[in-house]
């Protein structure tokens, strides 16, 4: 659930885009994995469509089979190149179509990148991102973060966000940041809060369209985190807090966990 939702001072069209690469490296075909009788991607698209104030929802995929499946479910889908190396690059490849669906200028449009492996996404997070985008006068990029529990700050599978005092993201890492000198690592969380990244990005339309012109990012290659390309290019990323992460499915174990959770809903 979202901790706080600001009222947008200026409304902007919101388009939700879900990158859906069928040949996932860690769990191939996961976006079409069955969860409670429906494919995971269908769950994600349905949850995105429940968010209030969204102009359009798209799947962005390199698979014609996924495009046909989305049409069967009643959702729009855009075919993207197989060569895209990240979800953001996949969305950037069809940025013109995404922005056009909002019906406004690129600099006045919010495109929210929702991961295709988050079938339990809370639609309220999308609504909160839209509100924050308006309240902050259309920042280039916006992303939600959540407070990490002490036992998770050293897990390399959990992406950490180091935040400035104004909420701007200083950097992202799989390593716990900041490093607390003079304390053993298991006690670092007692000294300072640690923040995890939920995995959604809200792009101003013109920023997303310019993704292909961003310079090569050595940090992105090292950490395998696409948002570091923005950091290295000097594009600020604003953050806001929510109360919890949205479970992402990266392993067979997590897929079974989601299946069990869906059975209880």
Task: Kindly report, residue by residue over 100-109, the tens digit of the pLDDT.
Answer: 999 999 999 9
Is domain 14-264 given the CATH code 3.90.550.10 in the classification?
yes
Those residues whose C-beta lies under 8 Å from the C-beta of residue 256, and which sit 6 or more positions away, are: none
pLDDT band (50, 70, 90) for residue 172: very high
pLDDT at 3 over 50: no
pTM: 0.92
Residue 205: is its pLDDT beyond 70? Answer: yes
Report whether pLDDT(224) > 50: yes
pLDDT the model gives residue 10: 59
């Amino acid at each position: 659930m979202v901790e706080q939702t600001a009222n947008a001072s200026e409304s902007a069209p919101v388009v939700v885009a879900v990158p859906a690469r069928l040949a996932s490296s860690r769990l191939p075909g996961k976006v079409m994995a069955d969860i409670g009788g429906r494919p995971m991607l269908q769950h994600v698209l349905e949850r995105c469509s429940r968010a209030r104030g969204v102009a359009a929802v798209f799947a962005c995929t390199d698979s014609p089979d996924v495009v046909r499946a989305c049409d069967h479910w009643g959702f729009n889908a855009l075919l993207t190149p197989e060569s895209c190396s990240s979800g953001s690059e996949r969305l950037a490849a069809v940025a013109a179509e995404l922005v056009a669906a909002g019906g406004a200028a690129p600099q006045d449009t919010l495109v929210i990148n929702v991961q295709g492996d988050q079938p339990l996404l809370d639609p309220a997070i999308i609504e909160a991102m839209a509100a924050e985008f308006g309240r902050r006068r259309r920042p280039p990029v916006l992303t939600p973060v959540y407070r990490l529990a002490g036992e998770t700050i050293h897990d390399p599978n959990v992406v950490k966000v180091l935040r400035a005092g104004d909420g701007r993201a200083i950097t992202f890492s799989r390593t716990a940041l900041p490093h607390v000198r003079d304390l053993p690592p298991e006690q670092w969380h007692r000294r300072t809060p640690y923040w995890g990244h939920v995995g959604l990005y809200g792009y101003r339309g013109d920023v997303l369209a310019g993704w292909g012109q961003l310079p090569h990012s050595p940090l992105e290659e090292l950490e395998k985190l696409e948002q570091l390309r923005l950091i290295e290019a000097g594009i600020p990323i604003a953050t806001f807090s929510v109360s919890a992460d949205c479970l992402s499915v990266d392993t067979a174990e997590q897929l079974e966990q989601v299946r069990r959770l869906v059975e209880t809903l």
